Amino acid sequence: MRSGATLASKTASGTAGIESAAPAVALRGRAVTDAEAGRPLLDVRGVTMQYKTQAHLITATYRVSFSVLQGDRFVVVGPSGCGKSTLLKAVGGYLTPTEGEIRLKGERIAKPGPDRIMVFQEFDQLLPWMTVFENVVFPLKTTGTLRGKAADERAMHYIEKVKLTDFAHSYPHTLSGGMKQRVAIARGMAMEPDILLMDEPFAALDALTRTRMQDELLSLWDETRFTVLFVTHSIPEAIKLGSRILLLSPHPGQVKAEINSVPRGKENSNEAAALGREIHDMLFADQIEEIPNASGG
Partner 1 sequence: MLQAVERPNIYCETLGPDQFGIIEKPLTLAERIYNKVWLRKIAILVVLALGWEIYGRWLDNPLLVPPFSEAMRALITDIGNGTIPRRALSSLEVLLVGFATGTVLAGLLTVFAISSRIGTDFLDTMTAMFNPLPAIALLPLALIWFGLGAGSLVFVLVHSVMWAVSLNMLAGFRGVSTTARMVGRNYNLSGLRFVARILIPAAFPSILAGLKIGWAFAWRTLIAAELVFGVSSGQGGLGWYIFESKNQLNIPEVFAGLLTIILIGLAVENVVFRFIEARTVQRWGMQT
176 touches partner 1 (CB under 8 A): no
| Rounded least distance, CB 124 to partner 1, Å | 5
C-alpha torsion sign, points 231, 237, 239, 241: negative
CA dihedral sign, ordered 51, 57, 58, 63:
positive
Q: At its nearest, how many Å lie between partner 1 and the CB of residue 177?
A: 14
Give least dist CB 173 to partner 1, A. Answer: 3
Half-sphere exposure at residue 123, Cβ-oriented, CA atoms within 13 angstroms: 13
**Nearest approach, Cβ of residue 265 and partner 1 (Å):** 33
By CB under 8 A, residue 129 contacts partner 1: yes
Interaction of residue 242 with partner 1, rule CB under 8 A = no
Q: Which stretch binds partner 1 (CB under 8 A): 76-84, 120-128, 221-229, 265-273?
A: 120-128
Q: Does residue 124 belong to the site contacting partner 1 (CB under 8 A)?
A: yes
Q: Does 92 bind partner 1 (CB under 8 A)?
A: yes
108-117, Cβ contacts within 8 angstroms, sequence gap of 24 or more: 114/139, 114/143, 114/145, 114/191, 114/193, 115/193, 115/194, 115/195, 116/91, 116/92, 116/193, 116/194, 116/195, 116/196, 116/197, 117/187, 117/188, 117/191, 117/193, 117/196, 117/197
194 vs 267, beta carbon nearer partner 1 = 194
Single out the segment in contact with partner 1 by CB under 8 A; choices: 34-42, 111-119, 262-270, 289-297: 111-119
By CB under 8 A, name the one of 15, 143, 176, 268 that touches partner 1.
143
Residue 201 binding partner 1, by CB under 8 A: no
In the bound state with partner 1, the residue whose beta carbon lies nearer, of 114 and 297, is: 114
Residue 171 touches partner 1, criterion: CB under 8 A: yes
How far are the Cα atoms of 49, 117, 286, 294 from residue 54, in angstroms, in the given order?
A: 17, 30, 28, 18
Closest among 248, 212, 244 to 228, alpha carbons compared: 244
Residues 6+ apart with CB under 8 A from 110: 93, 96
Query: How many CA atoms, within 13 angstroms, populate the side-chain half-sphere of residue 35?
Result: 16
Q: At its nearest, how many Å lie between partner 1 and the CB of residue 80?
A: 18
DSSP 264-289: TT-TTSHHHHHHHHHHHHHHHHHHHH
Residues that bind partner 1 (rule: CB under 8 A) add up to a total of: 24
Shortest gap between Cβ of 99 and partner 1 (angstroms)? 23
Determine, following the binding rule CB under 8 A, whether residue 117 of this chain makes contact with partner 1: yes
Q: How far is the CB of 135 from partner 1 (least distance, A)?
A: 10
Positions in the binding site for partner 1 (CB under 8 A): 92, 94, 111-114, 116-118, 120, 122, 124-125, 127-129, 138-139, 142-143, 171-174
